[in-house]
Amino acid sequence: MSRLRAALDPKSIAVIGASDNPNKVGGRPVHFLGKFGFTGKIYPINPTRPEIQGHKSYASLADLPEAPEMVIVAVAGDNAIAAVEDCAAAGVKVAVVMASGFGEVDAVEGKAKERRMVEAAHKAGMRIVGPNSQGLANFGSGAIASFSTMFVDMEPAADKGHVAMLSQSGALSTVPVGFLRQKGIGVRHTHATGNDSDITVGELACAVAEDPEVKLMLLYLESIPDKTYLEELAAIALDRDLPIIALKSGRTDAGKAAAQSHTGALANEDRVVDAFFEHHGIWRAPDMRGLVEATELYLKGWKPQGRRLVAISNSGAVCVLTADAATSVGMPMAKLAPETDAKLKGILPSFATTTNPIDLTAALLSNSALFGDILPVIAQDPAADAFLIGVPVAGPGYDVPAFSRDTAAFGQQTGKPVVVAATQPSVAQAFAANRTSVFPTEVEAVSALHQFLAHHELMAKARARRDTAAPSEALIALGPDTLMLNEADSLRLLASRGVAVVPHRLCLSRSEAVAAFTLIDGPVVVKGCSADIAHKSELGLVRVGITSADMTGDIYTEMEQIIAKAGARFDGVIVAAMASGRREMMIGAHRDPVFGPVVVVGDGGKYVEVFRDTKLLLSPFTADDVRAALQALRVAPLFAGVRGEAPMDIDTLAEMVVHVGELMRDPAARIVSIDLNPVMLGSVGEGSVVVDAVVFHAV
């Protein structure tokens, strides 16, 4: 923790507004510092008391024998601003501002007050956490600069834990701590940055990620005004093989409105956030349960090689439900090798099921060694990547301690992920006592296992992409003014970047249009061309299936008149070949103000906005990334061909999407947005071709 060390591991802490009452905001940090073993110097500041909670109290910051590395500002309103200014003047390194009533409630005056504090701090080289921060807590060092009520009931733990929780919300920095401690999982760091006026949650997370004791990081985010530190954090995490799980609120319009009022920051487009996390190997949790439910699995040190599941239970129903749950999350049930099946038949009674999922039936009651006998056999099967053991009922007559010992030994010997589903408390406790991960139901067990395994794959893909793709560029600063290229110029630009476009000619006279029909030699499409008109169909500027030269000439004249009547520039008329294909697709791109170039690919045509069967990609990305995105579409089964059809040429489509991404990344091109719809996708060998294009660029 070389950077922001004073925020995470200060050697001395002062509390402005310190209280002798440990239940007050100014009293909690003083109490917690002693309770959790902080070994540095503690300086309570309160002009009305000579002593606070057994520590000598000082009247002011100026009266301290030294400049403390950290100061907790536990006074309100303008007093907090004055206290921050005093800290900056005194040489303090970090101020944790707990006061509220700033940018989170007033986007104008409140934000101005925040800027005043930050400016004063930066002039002196000081950093600020907050305002509106519940505080920071490093249980590894005992530096608990927080007023969280959660810590009142917590007792110091010998195991400081390996989980870090960072949040823009105070409550959400500690609620997960309570969940995890109930499961016996220690949390080493839990920090709430509040309004992120200076030190953001991303920057602090980068510093926490340097702690070698941290093996899992959890994030709660309400807004992402800047991607810089989150990108850096993701890079650090991939280098360290440190998983990050993020819960980002504001998925719905109501949630976005609540997030904006809570943090005073604009909410991000949610699908872009999804794409950003996926691009960088960060798992996005759907809710609080998803943030913490798989935590224990991440701390096992497993290095999974796949996600094919083997399920074993003494209940046929649990076997079926496990298979259903695994299928619903896309986790394949492993197909065991014939030799594995033969060995299992030699161990299990004839009425047991040896195909996966494996139903031991009531035979487990009469032979408690079955788990220990079959697990080593299954472990040798190359298709077995992970295991779920379901024990829904096991009362008198079942040797549950033996089951739990055999399962634990199996997990240690193979290093392969194994989870248990056990509803009965006594059964669950027996497995937990041997440090096996236990869940109440097979659905919860599968959900946690799926997250862990899929996240491992996500990180591997992100690492491979980073190692092969071009480096991400800084955001291109473009002005607010944009111009639309006419369609001919849009197609010309795309063709110059390797994107296949429909054969066409731009015609500036009736005679040129007639000649174009003859040159193209077949039914044509005739379209009016104007840099002032984005939606041509609405004005009757698109005519398809034209079969004669004279008709083409007549349409030219008609479209020239329509464009003139609309008061738009007349850039000519495009005569294009009638492009054919198997499926209308679309490619779009825009420049997100936070995340940079975002490319969209999906099912196209006139209903694209109705069905929204699209996937987002953040640049830079590879053709493999595009193919994976295409296979995630609802229409993906069609690409392979159905009922004797040939497969579609998604490789050429993927390359086209890559070229669009490269164009968006080119600062010289100054592209703001691209809309290609439809893109005709043909059979393998026929390629893909852009039929219609609208491109906007910055002035």
pLDDT tens, position by position, 405-431: 989 988 888 889 999 999 999 999 999
- Strands 573-577 and 524-528, bridge-based pairing: antiparallel
Confidence of residue 9 (pLDDT cuts 50, 70, 90): very high
- Four-CA torsion 598, 599, 603, 608, nearest 10 degrees: 50
With beta carbons less than 8 A apart as the criterion, state whether 322 and 391 touch: no
Domain 5-297 grouped into CATH 3.40.50.720: yes
Q: What is the pLDDT of residue 399?
A: 85
Angle at the Cα of 460 (from 457 to 461), degrees rounded to 5?
A: 90
Q: Is the CA virtual torsion 483, 489, 492, 494 positive or negative?
A: positive
Which of 291, 276, 118 is closest to 216 using CA atoms?
291
Could you tell me what percent of the chain has a pLDDT over 70? 96
- Strands 573-577 and 504-507, bridge-based pairing: antiparallel
Q: 312 or 1: whose pLDDT is higher?
A: 312
| Range of weakest confidence among 390-399, 482-491, 553-562, 675-684 | 390-399
Q: What is the pLDDT of residue 252?
A: 57
- For domain 301-464, give its CATH number from 3.40.50.2300, 3.30.70.1400, 2.40.110.10, 3.40.50.261: 3.40.50.261
With beta carbons less than 8 A apart as the criterion, state whether 555 and 523 touch: no
Q: What is the pLDDT of residue 266?
A: 31
Which of 510, 551, 507 is closest to 529 using CA atoms?
507
Amino acid present at 672: V
Q: Please provide residue 526's backbone torsions phi and psi, each rounded to the nearest 5 degrees.
A: -120, 125
264 has pLDDT over 50? no
Q: What is the pLDDT of residue 256?
A: 52
Q: What is the pLDDT of residue 265?
A: 33
With beta carbons less than 8 A apart as the criterion, state whether 121 and 88 touch: yes
Question: How many whole angstroms from its chain centre is CA 468?
Answer: 21
Q: What is the pLDDT of residue 262?
A: 35
Q: What is the pLDDT of residue 348?
A: 85
Q: What is the pLDDT of residue 360?
A: 84
| Highest mean pLDDT: which range of 247-256, 514-523, 649-658 | 649-658
CA dist., res. 321 & res. 327, Å (int): 10
pLDDT averaged over every residue in the chain: 92
CA dist., res. 19 & res. 112, Å (int): 29
The whole-number average pLDDT for the span 72-83 is: 95
All structural domains of the chain with their residue ranges = 5-297, 301-464, 503-577, 583-698
Confidence of residue 394 (pLDDT cuts 50, 70, 90): confident
Q: What is the pLDDT of residue 352?
A: 82
The whole-number average pLDDT for the span 391-402 is: 84
239 has pLDDT over 80? yes
Q: The tokens of 79 are what?
A: 């007093």
Angle between helices 201-208 and 228-240 (to 10 degrees): 20
| CATH code that applies to domain 503-577 | 3.30.1490.20
Amino acid present at 124: A
With beta carbons less than 8 A apart as the criterion, state whether 341 and 409 touch: no
Confidence of residue 474 (pLDDT cuts 50, 70, 90): low
Which of 320, 231, 309 is closest to 277 using CA atoms?
231
CA dist., res. 267 & res. 260, Å (int): 6
With beta carbons less than 8 A apart as the criterion, state whether 193 and 201 touch: yes
Q: 1 or 379: whose pLDDT is higher?
A: 379
Q: 366 or 399: whose pLDDT is higher?
A: 399
Number of other residues whose CB lies within 10 A of the CB of residue 607: 11
The C-alpha R_g of the chain, in whole angstroms, comes to 31
Q: Is 15 helix (H, G, I), strand (E, B) or coil?
A: strand
CA dist., res. 265 & res. 691, Å (int): 40
1 has pLDDT over 60? no
The whole-number average pLDDT for the span 186-191 is: 96
CA dist., res. 461 & res. 475, Å (int): 23
| Range of weakest confidence among 256-260, 289-293, 440-444 | 256-260
Q: What is the pLDDT of residue 627?
A: 97
| Range of weakest confidence among 262-276, 315-329, 441-455, 523-537 | 262-276
Q: What is the pLDDT of residue 371?
A: 79
Q: What is the pLDDT of residue 367?
A: 77
The whole-number average pLDDT for the span 180-193 is: 94
Q: What is the pLDDT of residue 477?
A: 66
Could you tell me what percent of the chain has a pLDDT over 90? 79
Instruction: Calculate the alpha carbon distances from 47 to 68, 70, 273, 322 in Å.
Output: 18, 19, 48, 64
Locate tokens 């073993």: which residue? 37
| Range of weakest confidence among 53-67, 157-171, 239-253, 572-586 | 239-253
Question: How many whole angstroms from its chain centre is CA 462?
Answer: 12
* Exposure letters 61-100 (e unless 16+ CB within 10 A, then b): beebeeebbbbbbbbeeeebbebbbbbbebebbbbbbbbb
Confidence of residue 571 (pLDDT cuts 50, 70, 90): very high
361 has pLDDT over 90? no
Amino acid present at 646: A
The whole-number average pLDDT for the span 509-517 is: 97
Q: Which DSSP string do the residues of 156-186 spell out, in sequence order?
A: --SS--SEEEEESSSHHHHHHHHHHHHTT--
98 has pLDDT over 80? yes
206 has pLDDT over 90? yes
Q: What is the pLDDT of residue 552?
A: 97
The whole-number average pLDDT for the span 664-683 is: 95
Question: How many whole angstroms from its chain centre is CA 250?
Answer: 13
With beta carbons less than 8 A apart as the criterion, state whether 630 and 639 touch: yes
With beta carbons less than 8 A apart as the criterion, state whether 379 and 414 touch: yes
Domain 583-698 grouped into CATH 3.50.50.60: no
The whole-number average pLDDT for the span 3-29 is: 96
Within this chain, domains 301-464 and 583-698 share the same CATH topology: no
CA dist., res. 104 & res. 102, Å (int): 6
